[in-house]
Amino acid sequence: MRYRLTFIAGLALGYVFGTRAGRERYEQLKKSARQVAQNPAVRNATESAAHNGRDFAEKAFHTVSDKVGDRMPGSVTERVRSLRERGQAGEADDWGTTNT
């Protein structure tokens, strides 16, 4: 319930600020956000964070699989295996990024 109220408050606040600022301000903010996203330092930091997250997830996977072992149901094991194989293909995912 708390998250729903926070979301509604944020939506209302965004609407009020958006209507006051107008279309020009929106376009200016959009252009600034695009410039920040295309900045090489930001892109490197994003890629580094994604790589570190994948490394952490892989370590966590090995730790959990060592502790849990064969106690997982077969359906869960198959799902994890299929997700790992899909992630190691090096293809673009649903968001257009690659697993580098």
Between these two residues, 85 and 70, which has the higher pLDDT value? 85
Report the distance separating Cα 81 and Cα 56, nearest Å.
18
Domain shared by 23 and 59, yes or no: no
Q: Please tell me the predicted confidence (pLDDT) of residue 97.
A: 59
Asked whether the whole model's pTM tops 0.75, one would answer no
Report the distance separating Cα 44 and Cα 51, nearest Å.
10
Between these two residues, 18 and 27, which has the higher pLDDT value? 27
Residue type, position 86, single letter: R
Residue type, position 16, single letter: V
* CA 42 to chain CA centroid, nearest Å: 15
Q: Please tell me the predicted confidence (pLDDT) of residue 98.
A: 58
Q: Would residue 83 count as lying in a domain?
A: yes
The tens digit of pLDDT for each residue in 20-74 reads: 767 777 788 789 889 988 999 989 999 999 999 999 988 888 888 777 766 777 7
Q: Would residue 96 count as lying in a domain?
A: no
Q: Would residue 3 count as lying in a domain?
A: yes
* Residues 92 and 98 sit within 8 Å (Cβ to Cβ): yes
Domain shared by 45 and 83, yes or no: yes
